[in-house]
Amino acid sequence: MYDLTAFQRDLLYVIAGHEEPHGLAIKDELQNYYEAEINHGRLYPNLDTLVEKGLVEKGTLDKRTNSYTITDRGSRELEARREWESQYVENV
């Protein structure tokens, strides 16, 4: 998790919070959060990086649409991140 960008961590959180979201659903969630346009050239290469690192699994909904699910490793990484963060912000 330490080698991910903040954007990649945010992608993990969004994917973990949904059941098999497709790319555009992930994009919409992040655009709402960032209040800025997320272009495909930023979104999909970062999703591919998460797949390559074994944190996310890429599936197929139909011929044009991919879905994404968090892997067990991705879930463990998110949990470790939450534990690490909580030691600093627990009393905030």
- Domain layout of the chain by residue ranges: 6-89
Report the pLDDT value the prediction gives residue 90, as an integer from 0 to 100: 78
Q: What angle do CA 8, 10, 16 make, to 5 degrees?
A: 105
- C-beta neighbour count of 33 within 10 angstroms: 12
- Give the position of tokens 């939450």: 82
Alpha helix positions (H), 1-92: 6-16, 23-34, 40-52, 72-89
Give tens-digit pLDDT for 38-57.
999 999 999 999 999 999 99
pTM beyond 0.95: no
Q: What are phi and psi of 68, to 5 degrees?
A: -135, 135
pLDDT at 62 over 70: yes
Q: Does domain 6-89 have CATH number 1.10.10.10?
A: yes
Question: Averaged over 67-87, what is the pLDDT?
Answer: 95
